[in-house]
Structure formats: C-alpha cells, structure tokens
Chains A and B, each alone.
Chain A
Amino acid sequence: MSVASRARKYQPRTVPEGQQATSAMIASLEAEGYDTVAAPFGNALADLAKTDERIVGLSADLSKYTDLHVFAKAHPDRFYQMGMAEQQLMAAAAGLAHEGFIPFATTYAVFASRRAYDFVSQAISEEGLPVKICCALPGLTSGYGPSHQATEDIAIFRGLPGLAIVDPCDATDVAQMVPELVAHDGPVYARLLRGQVANVLQKHKPDYQFKLGKAQMIREGKDVLVVSSGIMTMRALDAADDLAAEGIDVAVLHCPTIKPLDTETILAEASKGRLLVVAENHTRIGGLGEAIAAACLTAGVTPTFRQIGLPDAFLEAGALPTLHDMYGISRRAVATQIKGWL
C-alpha cells in the first residue's frame, strides 16, 4: 500500500520589506515597554522553601527550562531529578505528598497534560494531594510546532475534579502565586512563564497583587470588557492602549485562576452592557471563554460575546511573533479583532 507523502513542497520565502527575518529559535515573547524579571518562579520557590520544609521540587529533565534549577541550586537536597519520565514524575510527586511533603512537579505543559494525564487524575487529583504541577510553554509560547505547543492543556485539565488551574500573566503573578499554591490545600496546575519574564500588571495597576481564585480589574473602560488570562492580559492591556488612541474605551479584567472561576466578579462586570471579549492563549475550545460563556448563560447574563484564542487546529511551526500575528493573539491582532466587533 502506498501512502501519499505528507511533507510539504519547498517554497522559497522572501522577507517582506520592513519585516525582520525571524526564526523558530526566537522563543521570547514580544513584550515591548516592560521591564523583565529573571526566573520569578525559581526564585520565589527557593525563597519560600527556606521557611517551609515541606517543599520539594521535581523535574523531568527540564529544570533549566522551567526555572526550577534556581531552586535546585539553592536546595540541592530537596530537588529530585526524575529524568525524562513524566508519568513517574507525577507518581513520585503523589508519593511524596502522601508522606506530607508539598511537591512542585515541573515539566512542559504538553507533557504534563498529554503524557501524564492519568497520573495527574488518579494518583494526584482523585486523592486530593497537594501536588503543585507547574509547567512551562503554555498555549502558543513555542515555535516548535504541536509537540511543544500546549494549546489544549486547560481543556484537558478543566474536567478534572479538585484540580485548581492558574494561568499567570507576568512576573508578579508567577512570583506571588507560589506561596498561594502552597497555602491551597489541594492539587494545582499552573502555567509557567520562564526566563526573562515581563512585569506587566503592576505597570498598569501599581497595587496589583495576585490572589488565587480572584479576577481583578486592571483597567476600567466603558465600551468593551475583555476578560483574559495569562499573557493575553498583557496583549489586552496593550491593545487597550492602542484602541484608547482611537477613542475606544476597553476594560481589562484579569482572570488568572481558570478554576475555580471567580464567577461573582465576572458576572458583575459582564452585566454592565459592554461587548464581552474573552481572550486566552489556548484553543477556543474548552478554556476560559467557554467557561465564562457557560457561567453567563446559566446566570441569564447575555452580553454580546466574542472569543480571542487559538483555532481548533494543530498550529504551524515558526517564529513566535509571526505565529502570534497569524493566530490572532498579537497586540495588533487583538486590537484589530476588537475594533471589528464594535
């Protein structure tokens, strides 16, 4: 039996005038105008571990790429290198939690959600164990293609009873969520931002503090309400600045905890008659958008509703700036979509 080749034909590509040539190795997010903080997750965890002996860290051969290596360096005897074995990573974390420890199990989001799902479900969540699963490369934050793009991790985990889900926006969220994850008596899945992480939220709202389970208004606005999580809050705030110059007043409600959802705050804001746009770095299926749509309809709150998110597709490989534009989650694309809906 012969099968038609699935490989693409080579097509020479010229870089359009005025654009930079980009490559898949450009892995950093476009975050112009923001200061950055180095390894906020690893540093926050290393600090907290000084006063909390229950904390241990586990990696499946990705400590350098999740910033857990900072913790490992500070507390070498509390770091477990589990090797490239994600099921075992989760199982061992469950076992350590059974013995009273608070394990931070770290890998990439694709591997935790796809490869190790049964272990997250049965070994961790069904037992209600306080394992904190912290994963880099959430949504479209890698140009490597579908193997590394966790476009459906939230959809996979939202159905799992008892597992809290956090999608932080910036260095403040990442650093401040660490003690809140520890204080939360149960399992958590948190999306990580690693390396040089932008400081976004306090630039827009200087007194901003992360609170697990709470959505917070970062920017008021009378025409449009964007509810967003993760890096899409940064995109929404930037797009709101651009749209303000055109006389469009956009509110941004940052909702870093996807589950349990802060329906009280969301419904109160969604009831004010503005266009409701949910923006997420995730497939539009099964994520924050659908969660909010269900909450609104159930409560009889029916604003005009639109979603900004990734398509129901395996995404292309390439450079992130190109991909974010292509899939509608760049600053420019977010502004254009919102304007088009008004």
Chain B
Amino acid sequence: MNIGLSSDRRSNVSLARRAYNIRRKAIQMGEVQGQGYVGQALGVADVLAVSFFHAAEYRPEDPEWEGRDRYLLSIGHYAIAFYAALIEAGILPEEELPTYGMDDSRMPMSGMASYTPGMEMSGGSLGLGLGIAVGRAMGLKRKGSSALVFNLMSDGELGEGSTWEAAMSAAHHGLDNLICIVDFNNQQADGASTRMLSSEPVDKKFEAFGWFVQRVDGNDIDALVAAFDAARGHDKPQPRVIICDTVMCKGVPFLESREITHFVRVEADEWQKALAVLDEEAPK
C-alpha cells in the first residue's frame, strides 16, 4: 500500500521534525493575522505529520491524482494547521504562507475545496465530513480503487447527530477503506467538550457502532504511527477510527499553561516568543 513513500517520509525522527515544521508554519500564519486557531494547530501537528508523511498517499505535484488517498478536513477552522501541512508536504508553495486569511488568498480562515489545492471538502459546518467520507469511500469501492479516505474531525463534532448517522452508515456498508481521526483535545467553543455534551466513553460508542477502534496519545508520534499502521492493516471489513487525545497548544509551554480556550489569546509580541520556544526544542 505504501509504495512510493520515500524512506525519509518513514523515519520517526523526520516525523518529529515534520511536526515541528507544521507547528512553526501555523504560528507564522497566526502572526500574519494576529490571531488564528493556533491552539488546535499546535495540538494536531503530530497527527498531521504522521498523516502526511507516513500514512497517506499523494503526489505533491498533482493534488488531484486519481490514486491519492482522500484526506478530508471536516473541521474547517483547523485550516491553519492543514495549510501548514499542505505547505510542508509541498502541495502548497511556501511563498503563499504570508497570504493566510488575506483577500484573494487561496488560504481562507475556514477550509474550502474551491480555494485550496489539496483541500478535499468545504468544512466548517461541523459534522459534515464523516458523512461525505462515507460517500467517497462508497465511490472508491465502486470504482475498484484501493485508495483510502481519511476524515479528520474534532471531538466537538461528536455532538452532531449526523456524525452518528455517518458512523452507523460506514459500518453498515462495511467501509474498510475509511479511516476516521478524531482530534480529542477536549475543547470546544464554550468550554471543555466533555462538559458541553459528553461523548465519553467515545471508544465504546464507536465499537458499539461497529468500528475498529484505537485510542492513542495524539502527541506521541510512535503511538500514532503504530495506530495508522494497525488501521491500515486491520483485516476485518469495518471502518476504522483513531481517537487521538491531544493537548491544545502542544509544544509551546507558555501557551499550554495559559487558560485554554477555543480561540487561544496570543499577544502581538508572543508570536516570535512562541517560535523561539519551538526552535529551542527543534528535533533533527
């Protein structure tokens, strides 16, 4: 399945460096606008690094290559993180980074397919992605394609009824070509997700819905690699979910310890400080 991935994209050291690069780019984009969902971006950077440099098949020079794995971003406001990954993956040119959120930019604040190469869907209305992923997985099977569908969603989206319609549907149709990734940072707009509308025990819920379930530390690259490999290698005809417990603002301790909110406050002089903190711990 992984033919075409270079050994560089397989190395754990390199994956840590990729995650660092994604974090760095997200902070740079946040500085452009003076704001952005950097808390989520820092938290999900390891998941994206493993996704784009270990798990998913694609051709940077041809983002619409028919054989690619479809990687759907259901959480539109995570676009800042996703653009960072697309730039790191060579799908978007790095020179566009300073245009983030600007008029005429291909990188709007919320991810939309009509703006950005490599963006497979217009997210943002939360709870859309998994359902669309089900349809794409059905379509790929119809075409006899071996490509996979990844759907990256948030724990907040577990509150949407449509997520569970999709979960039931994926299992009913035996979609073993679908891998759902839940970024469980336990944070949504009004507070902790588990205090808004608790989805716990989320692993048992997915199991009961007929999924192959793994729950991992979403900031542990080795654990993520193992989970993606197990999801790919699983031999039962059922959809797969990887629930990734992540830490908002991961990698920048002074932000991690700040009162965490959905939209983390970063002062004008703190963007450069955040980069400096990241750089101190930069992996090779």
Contacts and interface: CB of A to CB of B under 8 A. Distances in A.
Interface in B128-182: 128, 130-140, 142-143, 161-162, 165-166, 168-169, 172-173
A98 B132 CA distance: 9
Contacts, number: 95
Contact of A88 (B113, B139, B165): B165
Interface size class of A (residues with CB under 8 A): 20 to 34
A87 B172 CA distance: 16
A56 B141 CA distance: 13
Interface centre among A82, A88, A93 (most CB of B within 10 A): A88
Contacts of A88: 131, 134, 162, 165-166, 168-169
A126 B121 CA distance: 10
A101 interface: yes
Interface string A89-119: 0111111111111010000000000000011
Interface in A9-67: 56
Interface string B213-228: 0000000000000000
B168 A100 contact: no
A87 B131 contact: yes
Nearest to B139: A99
A80 B173 CA distance: 9
Nearest to A82: B169
A199 B102 CA distance: 56
Nearest to A86: B165
A160 interface: no
Contact of B139 (A91, A95, A122): A95
Interface in B175-197: none
B142 A92 contact: no
Contacts of B132: 91-92, 94-95, 98, 123
A127 interface: yes
A88 B128 CA distance: 9
Interface size class of B (residues with CB under 8 A): 20 to 34
B122 interface: yes
B201 to A, nearest CB: 23
Interface centre among A99, A101, A121 (most CB of B within 10 A): A99
A155 interface: no
Contacts of B117: none
Given A88-B165, A92-B169, A122 B125 contact: yes
Contacts of B137: 95
B125 A80 contact: no
A295 interface: no
B122 A127 contact: yes
Interface centre among B140, B165, B173 (most CB of A within 10 A): B165
B128 A95 contact: no
A237 B135 CA distance: 43
Contacts of B98: none
A99 B142 contact: yes
Interface centre among A80, A83, A87, A95 (most CB of B within 10 A): A95
B120 interface: yes
Interface string B63-77: 000000010000000
Nearest to A131: B135
A326 B48 CA distance: 61
A130 to B, nearest CB: 13
B131 A92 contact: yes
A122 B131 CA distance: 12
Given A85-B169, A127-B114, A98 B128 contact: no
B124 interface: yes
Nearest to B135: A95
B57 to A, nearest CB: 16
Given A83-B169, A99-B143, A127-B114, A91 B125 contact: no
A161 B6 CA distance: 44
A121 B131 CA distance: 14
B148 to A, nearest CB: 13
Contacts of A80: 138, 173
Contacts of B143: 99-100
B157 to A, nearest CB: 13
A44 to B, nearest CB: 22
Nearest to B173: A80
A123 B113 CA distance: 11
Contacts of A119: 128, 131, 162
Given A83-B169, A85-B168, A91-B128, A101 B142 contact: yes
Contact of A96 (B138, B165, B169): B138
B161 A93 contact: no
A126 B139 CA distance: 20
Contact of A122 (B70, B122, B142): B122
Contacts of A98: 70, 120-121, 132, 135-136, 139
B138 A122 contact: no
Contacts of A82: 169
5 contacts: A90-B131, A98-B139, A119-B128, A127-B122, A128-B114
Given A98-B139, A126-B122, 7 more contacts: A83-B169, A85-B168, A92-B135, A93-B135, A98-B121, A119-B128, A119-B162
Interface of B: 70, 112-114, 120-122, 124-125, 128, 130-140, 142-143, 161-162, 165-166, 168-169, 172-173
